[in-house]
Amino acid sequence: MKKLILLTTFLVFVGAVRGQHAEQALQDRLQNLLEQVLEDDENSDVEQLINDLVQLADSPIPINRAVEADFEPLFFLNPIQLKALLTYRDQHGPVLSQYELASVDGFDEVLAELTGMFLNFETEPPVAKYFRVRQELLLRATRLLEQQAAFKTGKFEGSQEKLYSRYRFTGKDIQFGVTAEKDAGESFFAKSNSAGFDFYSGFARLQFQRGSSSVVLGDYVVQFGQGLVAWQGFAMGKSADVDRIARFNQGIKPYSSTDENNFMRGAGADIRFGSFRLQPFVSYKAFDANTDSVNGELLFTSMQTSGLHRTESEIEDKNSVHALVGGAHLGFQTGNLQLGLTGMHTRYEFPLQRADALYNRYLFAGEQISNFGINYRYALNRLYLFGETAHADGALATVNGVMFQPVGQLAFSALYRNIAKQYNTPIGAAFTENSRVNDEQGLFFGIRALPAAGLTINAYADFFEYKWIKYTTAAPGKGQELMCRADYNLNRSWRLYVRYFYERKPLKISSEKLRYNQDQVRQGLRAQLDGELNSQFSIRTRLEHSFYEHDHNSDGFLVSQDLAYHHVNNRSKMWIRLAYFDTDDYDARIYAYENDLLYQFSIPAFYGEGLRAYVNGKVKICEKVELWLKCARTWFFGVDTLGSGNTAIDGSTRSELKLQLRFKI
């Protein structure tokens, strides 16, 4: 089964020390966001987003001393709500508890509790807190119990286990961490990995001027403007939170996840002086690529982003090309207005020469590229304007949006983007339908309404157009995407939501004589009921139906039942699920969130017919040690082989075993 593993989630951790309703609210928001994002782009990286929230849960934001930029990682607050929070603090003085947050304009009880999970309400921190040292060691092993074909034939160099370890140290004005990972099939202290793990990552962050300025050495990510020039890690796109379409400029942040490509390696700084904020960075890092030689000149034809190094060809592509990246962001704030300038230059060790295909005509090729952008944000009471315009190789790209909240129970949002087909950026990630920041014009409208007590409705419509062909199209085309979701709190213990999704966009059909576009239509209807039976047991029931139309029609169905147990003293937890699915083919696949180990969860894609069951549990061995275990199995009906090629499995079952130890020092 195709499985998307997304690391570093903290939903269970925060529930151990915070309110149960806030934990559920945050889990629901993340689940809804990720399921929809992954339907559009299965390679989306949410690890950095979750990693930021993990750190915030452990080191909350000092609400009574923090500046606006410190709140930017709180993705569930829209800019108008954040502005209302800061205005409330300025007008009423220090905020003393999360219960007071419910008095902020635009906050309800659940949002107040949710926000309070990440806030420190002290007016003056005790001196000893600055000297507190925290350390964490995480060890994890994962294994597929059935043997895949490449392990039988010896095509994979290493063993079936996937191994992961992470150490993090937080002290006075200093943080550092080391992450190491070996994927299944990669060698460990042998052959091509004589140094141990296949992937290592590390960083050190030093803070100055009472935390207002910092330097990051080693691995880090950059996030500027609205993503037209530089944005690494998770990028917020279309979701059920229709009033959260604006990006927050989070600048330079330490990197501690396991995506082996989308990060910088070098040094970056965050320097604040008066109303200005300067963030320079430089990186020199190797990446995986297919290399070749033409007339004695070395070049590369494509980048490899899987991060897998199991076979001879994958190992040959590992770290085969280097990239030198340098740039800076200069920000300025006066009152409600923020302006920013971003510049970045990228130079590759060898030229990039793409395949001679029409869809590649306007994509970047060559040895170097420069990107420049200007971004703005303006907040005035219940109105918020934002945007960025960028330039590269004579081409322009622009993203501009507005959010308006006339009353706390009603919010509107709109976003326009126009990205020239000649515009390219190596590490951009803007609000677009496609994963590349290239050749797209679009208009997005969203509305959020609370028409009655306990009822919330979110809806959006997005219209987009391509001026040139894509890899998946035979000609320019246009499409649209619609979503409507209604959430209803039956009471404090029971919640129901219903969601409808519709997408129409061009997809090529190839015949012997010609290629042409035919619209692909995907629809989905989902209903989910959540209930708390008592303080220890809760249940979740989901029904979902998917529809697909293109050169053929197909549909799918899924029903799942969850039971969760939380011990009163939080020393143990358990989650159990049984799901039945039946889809005509992969095109009608259905995604469903699963609970997983601490700092991890998964969203498998269900297709074919079968059953899936899992048990996931945690035991607190002592105050400093936790043990996590997950066992999962999927039974597929009417098949004798799963998968194909190197990952083929003889039989009709797929079973996983995961074990994790967490040490807090």
pLDDT by residue (tens digit) across 437-447?
Answer: 999 999 999 99
- The model's pTM is 0.91
Cβ within 8 Å of residue 432, ≥6 positions away: 237, 417, 419, 440, 442, 464
Give yes or no for residue 592 having a pLDDT over 70. Answer: yes
pLDDT on residue 214: 93
pLDDT on residue 3: 37
pLDDT on residue 12: 42
pLDDT on residue 465: 97
Which tokens sit at 454? 């306990």
What 3 state SS string does 108-145 have?
CHHHHHHHHCCEECCCCCCHHHHHCCEEEEEEEEEEEC
- The one-letter code for the residue type at 16 is A
Which tokens sit at 292? 């070749």
Which tokens sit at 231? 């944005």
Give yes or no for residue 70 having a pLDDT over 50. Answer: yes
pLDDT band at 131 (very low <50, low <70, confident <90, very high): low
pLDDT on residue 18: 46
Give yes or no for residue 558 having a pLDDT over 70. Answer: yes
Give yes or no for residue 338 having a pLDDT over 80. Answer: yes
Q: Which of 56-70, 248-262, 605-619 has the lowest mean pLDDT?
A: 56-70
By the 10 Å C-beta count (0-12 exposed, 13-18 middle, 19+ buried), 91 is classed as exposed
327/513: higher pLDDT: 327
pLDDT on residue 81: 86
pLDDT by residue (tens digit) across 11-49?
Answer: 444 443 344 555 555 666 666 666 655 555 555 556 666
pLDDT on residue 244: 83
pLDDT on residue 53: 74
pLDDT by residue (tens digit) across 254-284?
Answer: 998 888 999 999 999 999 998 999 999 999 9
Give yes or no for residue 149 having a pLDDT over 90. Answer: yes
pLDDT on residue 72: 79
**What percent of the chain lies above the pLDDT cut of 90?**
67
pLDDT on residue 125: 62
pLDDT on residue 14: 44
pLDDT on residue 7: 34
- Measure the CA–CA gap between 655 and 284, rounded to whole angstroms: 40
Report the length, in residues, of the chain: 665
Which tokens sit at 90? 């300025």
Give yes or no for residue 4 having a pLDDT over 70. Answer: no
